Structure 1
Amino acid sequence: MAESALLLVTTKIGIAVAAETLHHVRSVAKLSENMTLIRNDLELIRAFLKEIGRKNSTDGVTEAWIGQVRRLAYDMEDIVDQFMYVIGKQHQKGSWWSSVKKILKKPQHLFTLGEISTGLEKINRALTHLKQNRDWTQPIVGVGDVFATNYDSQQQLYLPGHDYSISDDELVGFDKNRKILMGSLNLENCLNLQIIALWGMGGIGKSTLVSNVFRKEAPNFECHAWVSVSQSYKLDDIWRRMLKEIYSKDKKEFHAEKMTCGELQDELKEILKKKRYLIILDDVWTAEDFRKIKEVLVDAKMGSRIIITTRSEEVASIAHDGCRIKVEPLEEEDAWRLFCRKAFPNTENHICPLALQEYGKLIVGRCDGLPLALVAIGSSLSLKAQNLTEWKLFDEQLIFELHKNENLSRVVKILNLSYKYLPDYLKSCFLYCAMFPEDHMIHRKRLIRLWIAEGFIEQIGKCSLEDVAEGYLGELVRRSMLHVVERNSFNRIKCLQMHDLVRELAIFQSSRESFSMTYDDGDGVTQVKPDSRRLSVLQCKNDTEPSMGQCRLRTFIAFSSNTASSALFPSESKYLAVLELSGLPIKTVPNSIGELFNLKYLGLGNTYVKILPKSVTKLHNLETLKLKGAQCVNLPKEFGKLKKLRHLLIYKYLDRTGSSFKYCDPVDPFEGLWTLKDLQTLRAVRGSKVFIAKLACLSQLRGLHITGISGINCAQLCDSLSKMQQLSLLAIEASNEDEVLQLETLTLSNRLKKLFLSGRISEGTWKSPFFSTNGDALYIIYLHCSHLVENPVPRLSELSNLTDIRLCKAYTGQELTFQPEWFPNVKTLSLYDLPHVNQIYIHERALVRLEDLQIGNLAELRDIPAGLEHLKSLKEAWFGDMHPDFERNFPTTKLEHVPKVRCTIRPGEA
């Protein structure tokens, strides 16, 4: 649909016409007025599109009309960006008012404004035509009872009789969840109504599993019904179908079609209050939907059960404790078994011929454990010739097959429903994730900053754009559109991935809507559509390169190190907002970078760039500059003019292992740094005396890494930090390994979650106001090169909410003891380079939630920590660079409960 494109362009128009100074000049004000009128029309069209989507009633005519709306929205975005470009180019040299006066004095700019005016007139004519066509298509859209028609048609997707594999023999990989489900149905001595929820992405097998259990367990209840809810439902239809199924069992004549909603409600309540019932509500999309339906599901204390299947974690949370079942993709072995059963149904033991296994494994890998896809694709392949050529062709054309092969259409319909019913503000965010390579680990912070640069995130009240974006991200996860690969120790999302098949369909949808293109000459995708708004270069093996002269291009992201350097800085795409080249072997940045006035995100992390051209100071819209891990630590003069900067990550790695005291080279504080009022992330900066005094001016900072701190400047640093109420991450690094950080007056807000201290720490630091009052807010603490004589563990145990502790060169004593009840929430404990520690004691009931133990280069430690067998939650234990005696004394029996154990000794001491 085009709603997300309309949402973006109407937002941009609002920004373009907001500058009050534009209204002082008649010719410019006229453009502003025309833009406002167009925005009003586009908002009406967007509302109309939402109504079409709500009725789920698109046909060929409507789809063509929607395509025209999308193209018009893109044309309007081009005009708005051109307008902002002209105004903004002059604004570099002065105020908005002076920029308008300069425009009026320059013929070339007046000519451009004339072009913009002509473009707006064309847009107006096109809008008039579109509205006339809308009036013409409306009768087609409105024919009949759309809700009823689509409810019935969608029911066919979910009814248990339409599931593919529901016999015990073919229900592969669901044994554990089936036992949990049956156990929840048959809770002994529980007569209260119990709500059970199964949740996971579309096609994961929720309905299939419930169907299998339903057929066995339904006879044990006095009445039962299976109802698919879906998005396009009417409440009376749900209750009517429920009654029909209940009465069909009793073979009672029943005329539900004539009953009103109130009569249906009364009838159901009357029946269900007298019987033990089992109701399946399949594919519930929102918690509000369930609450409405549940009005008739009375609790008569007779042991009744409701089972919900849903794609939404929010809906699943309605279920009772212990009755929420997350359905995950199949493991690789189970996925292969299920596929083979469908692909070779008539062979003994369903064995795949050796000649077909290579491509069979590739196809199964692309299904990524999704049972719906495995069953449908396996069944489709069972009808094809079993030869290598046929299977290779099928693998290469899988997406084409999914859309054109009738036997596979159900896979696409089920998966596309999740996208179709996303709110407008999430659709662009979701499609954007498909620009990353297959199986790519998408980092939360990076993705959020990209979304903001694209303009996808709407300001909500006083919330920062980053907080709103994180809410969007959580919503996509809860809707099972993205899945979390890694969380940090306090459960915040760290890395995500897209399911392979979902990503393929998102790429298809992105191309169809001209939202984005992925360039991959390894897969034969080498043509870039001229109207694509975004381009992602995934692979560039050959000498060819994508054409970058796309005036419509707003985003360019490259993952392939073979991309020609001439293609990496597309200066012809003057409206570019995102340029992400991190990780590529780039050495220089051309001076033409300064022409990209609209640029908001510039990613050059982990490149060989040593210097930025002076023209980068022209990028007045820049919000994120990422030079983390590059060779550049000096910024041009006048860089402080970039007032919209939100995230500045600039430091060169000196020692990536972290074992050296100085592991990175920071940027020197430049003139005007303290005037960047929107700055939220600053990593890393050298703490000069002048900068420390002005640090409090950066009141919006959330993440700060400051180095080179001397003891005499600590009091001023503590004073500045006390005024920074938004800090959630703070890293303080002393000027050298012998310098003592005097942090006795350290006062920080209770927002601080992560604290990194590198250097010796004064005794009074532990008695500072922060550790005395707000230390409990901390989740993560790293002590590096502290060289403490006193054991720091008792002090740290007072910080009851810690989840992650790292001690590196932090302690010079011989013994570490973890007493009972200490560190109840710690999940990760890392102990490195503690040269004299020879004994570690872990008492029972200490570190009860520890999952990851890392011990490295403890030269005097000869035995594993005493009491390690008490750590029942431990998932991984790593011992690295240890003494040879440590390996010889290694008691494997004490670590049998730990799934993953690794041990290495110091090189040369084997």
Structure 2
Amino acid sequence: MAESAIGSVLGNVSTLAVQETTFLCGVNLEVGFLKDELRRLKSYLKSADAKRRSGDELVATWVSQIRDAAYEAENAIEAADYMEKRNRLKKDFMGAILRYARLPSDLIALHTIGAEIQRVKRKISEIFDSANRLKINLDTSDVEKVHIEDEYPQDYGTMHQNFEDIDLVGFGDEYKEIVGKLVDKKENITLSVVSIVAMGGAGKTTLARKVYTSSCVKQHFEAASWVTVSQKFKGIDLLKDIMKQIMGARDESIAQMNEYEVGKEIHDFLLQKRYLVVLDDVWETDTWDQINKRVKAFPDATNGSRVLLTTRKEDVANHVQMPTYVHHLKKLDEEKSWELFSCKALPSYKRSVIRDVDEFEKLGRKLAKKCDGLPLALAILGGHLSKNLNAQIWSDILSDWPSTKNGQMMRFILARSYKDLPNCYLRACFLYLAAFPEDYIIYVSCLIELWIAESLVPHTPKHILEETARNYVTELAQRSLVQVLDRSKAHGWVERIRIHDILHDWCTEEARQDGFLNAIDKTAGQAGASSSSDNLISYRFSFQTLSDQLLPVAPNVRSLLGFELESVSLPKLRFLRVLCIENSTLKDFSSVIGGCIHLRLLRLRYCEGVALPSSIGKLLYLQTMELWNRPLHPQVPNSLCDIPTLRHVYLRNGFSPPPPARSVRLQPKELQSFVLHLHPVGTDFRCHDMMIFLGQLNQLKTFSLSMLPYMPAEVLNIFANMPHLVDISLNQFDVLDKMPAEFPQSVRRLVLDADVIKQDPMPILEKLPCLVVLHLNGYRGQTMCCSSQGFPRLQELELDCFSTKVWRMEEGTMPKLSHLALMWCIKMSKLPDGLLHLPSLSYLKLGFMDQISEDDSTLKELRRKGCEVRTYIRSLSLIKLPLGRSCSPSIFFVIYIYACLFVHTLISFKY
């Protein structure tokens, strides 16, 4: 990926030291020269890449040299720019003294940088000479588009196809059959298994997901969970995931529980419930035995509970020791293959602009037949061709088609789709997915922050980086290169994705061969610190399940990702730009991180051994800081606020505001997201200083704040200076006498949690013109009113712990509301009649609302009109404490309120 490397370097250099500064006057001319030379080298790379892929090792070495030179040039230029940034931050008298004190060492450093740039210039000259000897020609063909323009109006709610419905094409009969086996109580009331067996890419997971999310299955089972097993799994991790889904437990509450305790909790909870457990992508015959090894977690109450299992192996499907129905998922026949292919390649909104549809259909049917009935191949090829509505291109693909077996057929389709991606940036973004473990659920916002930190997203005139990156995700989804798991109701964009294991394997191999990224997984047998080609040195590494060692990377590595690492040490990484570690134990972290002056992203999730040094403020390029760890980490240094480039900050505890004068002068100007979960210890927490600091963050788009035990009501006053806020989450208020007179008019999602809200919040909140999602907790008034013009765009509303008896809704209010949840509104003895006048209401969730009878006239009418109604915990007497003792409703209510202080804290966090 030398092309993307040079592209990212060119974009980054443009924002560095090319502006006129007296300090760097001797470097600026050299920077301009390097930019021109790198741009010229980039034009040779298309020709070189074709030769490299044909097996020319000399060309492969030449391509590697280009990438090395580009990175070395960027490192040198950025080192000079860093000196300038550091000196500009010190503006007072002491700063001037420090600048003069450092002048001799800075001049020496500048001389060293100049010498390094001269060395890179000589290296580039040698590379040009080599191009002539290797007969690599200048490519003057079409210049690639840097930005993917939107194909639809910028209304995220309607701009995307329903990918799930399209992917189900061809499986209608199988869908009905499997749903019937799951919900038919007459056939088998004992706990039993329904297994879907088929080869990779045949659509097992897609079909199972559609069954799992169907309204029929949701209404039939009182509890349901979905876990992906994959080739490597830990029984306790699967059980904890199931527990979180069925019981609403959080990571912190189950982190210290052992396998027996988790299994026992699940068993007791499910004992009197009809439940469904989905085990997706099972590889080993003893998986069910492993999950139930310590305790039988899944009881058989002879009430029609079911296990739905997907696997590639028939012996796995038949091994479970309970009644089993095995469904062999067949390949699609010719007509169904064409139906799926045409939905992808020739969607209805494109057919209307095609002149000769018949010609495309004729070619398309032949291409669909070539895919041999595999839905994954049909979807990817269809997504690829939907971007190339040219009959000649379709004909060329047909004539080039390999007459080989399925594995090589898939590689052919993937290679075509990858090569057809519009630019080198998007190709690099796709290969970057190899950095994550197999079957890993990827949060798009986290992925975008990684892409931006890696400089894989180019600057464009009309879009901020995050917008361009979201367009990239949409492009990959439209081409079926990623699976969309869900979308944000508030924003409409894709929120979580996953990559099919076949595509993941292809990406991993391609990334390693290109020297783009090396994924090392000891448990899967993939190891080694170099790429498959000795000529291509990788600058990015992803480690999985390593333990007790110094991570084996070269000192010039730029990106390091780690998952499930046990007691590892980081080497000195002078040029590191990305550090992303999850569920790991780090040794000597603080002694390494302070020297990583090029760092763009620091993400440590659920890691131990983390302590930030005071020198963290020297990381003047840091864009994303995320510390979300199991133990309470030590204090976050105030020097964090010295970093001018911060865009996203996610902190859990350990943060205190800087003194007011300092926060006004140094708060980051580019900060877009600020998420803070605080549990102040002692009496020295400076609440007033915190309010002053937060009030200065006037460019924020996402703001989430939670404080235990309670958050001061003064927080609501800071919104007057935050006109750009789109997403607000505020948790743990004690008593709110009234709502602020005005929230930011741009807000689309609002979560507000308090013990007591005295004033009816609706008259203020219903005036927010962009509000799409609203979660409220704690209103203690007797009545609540929504006017006829209120909530014009609201789609999701959740009300928790309301004491409202009367809820008046004027006709015309909430015209777009589709999802409504009422939880613990125990004084509401009857559902309001106004619900019947909501034209879009399709889903109603009632939790702990035992006082609402099944004979409630509004409830019955909603069901008659087709609204899906879900009820949770109809009787409080069934609820048990962790020790197994029953509790009365009043006692449980108190327990629940305190539990909410913790649960609602995390409701808005992206993970």
Task: Say if 2:121 is the partner of 1:120.
Answer: yes
Out of 551, 554, 558, the position equivalent to 1:554 is 558
Query: How big is the shift at 1:79?
Result: 3.3
Residue 241 of structure 1 corresponds to none
Query: How big is the shift at 1:584?
Result: 2.9
Task: Say if 2:529 is the partner of 1:528.
Answer: yes
Residue 63 of structure 2 corresponds to 69
- Looking at structure 2, the residues matched to 76 and 625 of structure 1 have their Cα atoms a distance apart, in angstroms, of 27
- Looking at structure 2, the residues matched to 286 and 48 of structure 1 have their Cα atoms a distance apart, in angstroms, of 37
Query: What amino acid sits opposite 1:81 in the alignment?
Result: N
Contact 2:613 2:637 in 1 (8 A): yes
Contact 2:787 2:809 in 1 (8 A): no
- Looking at structure 2, the residues matched to 498 and 478 of structure 1 have their Cα atoms a distance apart, in angstroms, of 13
Residue 539 of structure 1 corresponds to 545
1:12-411 matches, within 5 Å, as: 12-21=12-21, 25-26=25-26, 28-29=27-28, 31-46=30-45, 60=54, 65=59, 68-85=62-79, 87-88=81-82, 91-94=85-88, 102=103, 107=108, 110-111=111-112, 113-135=114-136, 173=171, 212=335, 294-295=354-355, 307=361, 408-411=407-410
- Looking at structure 2, the residues matched to 807 and 906 of structure 1 have their Cα atoms a distance apart, in angstroms, of 29
Contact 2:788 2:811 in 1 (8 A): no
Contact 1:680 1:703 in 2 (8 A): yes
- Looking at structure 1, the residues matched to 352 and 873 of structure 2 have their Cα atoms a distance apart, in angstroms, of 54
Query: How big is the shift at 1:721?
Result: 2.0
Q: Sort the Cα spacing of 1:309 and 1:876 in 2 relative to 1 into closer, same or farther, 3 A.
A: farther
Task: Say if 2:686 is the partner of 1:680.
Answer: no
Q: Sort the Cα spacing of 1:23 and 1:174 in 2 relative to 1 into closer, same or farther, 3 A.
A: farther
Task: Say if 2:559 is the partner of 1:565.
Answer: no
- Looking at structure 1, the residues matched to 700 and 752 of structure 2 have their Cα atoms a distance apart, in angstroms, of 16
Residue 323 of structure 1 corresponds to none
Out of 731, 751, 761, the position equivalent to 2:729 is 731
Task: Say if 2:711 is the partner of 1:705.
Answer: no
Contact 2:697 2:722 in 1 (8 A): yes
1:1-16 matches, within 5 Å, as: 2-16=2-16
Contact 1:520 1:538 in 2 (8 A): yes
Query: How big is the shift at 1:427?
Result: 0.9
Query: What amino acid sits opposite 2:79 in the alignment?
Result: Y
Query: What amino acid sits opposite 1:605 in the alignment?
Result: R
Contact 2:622 2:646 in 1 (8 A): yes
The DSSP-based 3-state class of the residue aligned with 1:776 is coil
Query: How big is the shift at 1:419?
Result: 0.7
1:379-778 matches, within 5 Å, as: 408-423=407-422, 424-490=424-490, 491-529=492-530, 531-540=537-546, 546-548=551-553, 550-562=554-566, 564-566=567-569, 569-570=570-571, 572-585=572-585, 589-608=589-608, 611-628=611-628, 631-632=632-633, 634-652=635-653, 667-668=656-657, 672-674=662-664, 675-684=667-676, 688-692=687-691, 695-706=694-705, 717-718=716-717, 720-733=718-731, 736-743=733-740, 745-763=741-759, 765-768=761-764, 771-772=766-767, 775-778=768-771
- Looking at structure 1, the residues matched to 583 and 850 of structure 2 have their Cα atoms a distance apart, in angstroms, of 36
The DSSP-based 3-state class of the residue aligned with 1:575 is coil
Query: How big is the shift at 1:29?
Result: 3.9
Out of 800, 804, 808, the position equivalent to 2:796 is 804
TM-score (norm 2): 0.62
The alignment covers a number of residue pairs equal to 660
Q: Sort the Cα spacing of 1:36 and 1:214 in 2 relative to 1 into closer, same or farther, 3 A.
A: closer
Contact 1:598 1:621 in 2 (8 A): yes
- Looking at structure 2, the residues matched to 285 and 5 of structure 1 have their Cα atoms a distance apart, in angstroms, of 35
- Looking at structure 2, the residues matched to 131 and 285 of structure 1 have their Cα atoms a distance apart, in angstroms, of 47
- Looking at structure 2, the residues matched to 723 and 210 of structure 1 have their Cα atoms a distance apart, in angstroms, of 61
- Looking at structure 2, the residues matched to 789 and 556 of structure 1 have their Cα atoms a distance apart, in angstroms, of 55
- Looking at structure 1, the residues matched to 100 and 28 of structure 2 have their Cα atoms a distance apart, in angstroms, of 14
Q: Sort the Cα spacing of 1:135 and 1:666 in 2 relative to 1 into closer, same or farther, 3 A.
A: closer
Query: How big is the shift at 1:8?
Result: 1.8
Q: 1:239-278: CA deviations, max 9, x gaps?
A: xxxxxxxxxxxxxxxxxxxxxxxxxxxxxxxxxxxxxxxx
Query: How big is the shift at 1:642?
Result: 0.8
Task: Say if 2:783 is the partner of 1:784.
Answer: no
Q: Sort the Cα spacing of 1:690 and 1:590 in 2 relative to 1 into closer, same or farther, 3 A.
A: closer
- Looking at structure 1, the residues matched to 362 and 65 of structure 2 have their Cα atoms a distance apart, in angstroms, of 40
Structure 2 gap segments, 5+ residues each: 91-95, 142-168, 176-199, 205-330, 381-401, 532-536, 679-685, 890-911
Contact 1:589 1:613 in 2 (8 A): no
Q: Sort the Cα spacing of 1:786 and 1:212 in 2 relative to 1 into closer, same or farther, 3 A.
A: closer
Query: How big is the shift at 1:673?
Result: 4.1
Residue 180 of structure 1 corresponds to none
Residue 836 of structure 1 corresponds to 827
TM-score (norm 1): 0.62
- Looking at structure 2, the residues matched to 309 and 23 of structure 1 have their Cα atoms a distance apart, in angstroms, of 63
Contact 1:13 1:39 in 2 (8 A): no
- Looking at structure 1, the residues matched to 748 and 100 of structure 2 have their Cα atoms a distance apart, in angstroms, of 42
Query: What amino acid sits opposite 2:728 in the alignment?
Result: L
Q: 1:841-891: CA deviations, max 9, x gaps?
A: 57774566556544333465565865445346666725037334999xxxx
Query: How big is the shift at 1:173?
Result: 3.9
Residue 846 of structure 2 corresponds to 855
Query: How big is the shift at 1:565?
Result: 2.6
Q: Sort the Cα spacing of 1:619 and 1:59 in 2 relative to 1 into closer, same or farther, 3 A.
A: closer
Query: How big is the shift at 1:730?
Result: 1.6
The DSSP-based 3-state class of the residue aligned with 2:704 is strand
Task: Say if 2:878 is the partner of 1:880.
Answer: no
Q: Sort the Cα spacing of 1:751 and 1:214 in 2 relative to 1 into closer, same or farther, 3 A.
A: closer
Q: Kindly indicate whether structure 1 or structure 2 has the higher relative contact order, using CA contacts under 8 Å at least 6 residues apart.
A: 2
- Looking at structure 2, the residues matched to 502 and 851 of structure 1 have their Cα atoms a distance apart, in angstroms, of 36
Structure 1 gap segments, 5+ residues each: 142-170, 178-200, 218-227, 229-279, 298-303, 312-326, 331-337, 340-366, 374-402, 653-664, 888-904
Q: 1:364-386: CA deviations, max 9, x gaps?
A: xxx9966799xxxxxxxxxxxxx
Q: Sort the Cα spacing of 1:784 and 1:796 in 2 relative to 1 into closer, same or farther, 3 A.
A: farther
Contact 1:281 1:306 in 2 (8 A): no
Q: Sort the Cα spacing of 1:729 and 1:633 in 2 relative to 1 into closer, same or farther, 3 A.
A: farther
Q: Sort the Cα spacing of 1:737 and 1:882 in 2 relative to 1 into closer, same or farther, 3 A.
A: farther
Query: How big is the shift at 1:460?
Result: 1.8
Query: How big is the shift at 1:67?
Result: 5.8
The DSSP-based 3-state class of the residue aligned with 2:73 is helix
- Looking at structure 2, the residues matched to 130 and 648 of structure 1 have their Cα atoms a distance apart, in angstroms, of 45
- Looking at structure 1, the residues matched to 788 and 539 of structure 2 have their Cα atoms a distance apart, in angstroms, of 51
Query: How big is the shift at 1:429?
Result: 0.9
Query: How big is the shift at 1:39?
Result: 2.1
Query: How big is the shift at 1:505?
Result: 0.5
Query: What amino acid sits opposite 1:411 in the alignment?
Result: M
C-alpha RMSD over aligned residues = 5.0
The DSSP-based 3-state class of the residue aligned with 2:520 is strand
The DSSP-based 3-state class of the residue aligned with 1:722 is helix
Query: How big is the shift at 1:839?
Result: 3.4
Contact 2:518 2:538 in 1 (8 A): yes
- Looking at structure 2, the residues matched to 866 and 212 of structure 1 have their Cα atoms a distance apart, in angstroms, of 47
Query: Identity rate of aligned residues, in percent?
Result: 18
- Looking at structure 1, the residues matched to 347 and 133 of structure 2 have their Cα atoms a distance apart, in angstroms, of 35
- Looking at structure 2, the residues matched to 506 and 100 of structure 1 have their Cα atoms a distance apart, in angstroms, of 50
Query: How big is the shift at 1:684?
Result: 2.2
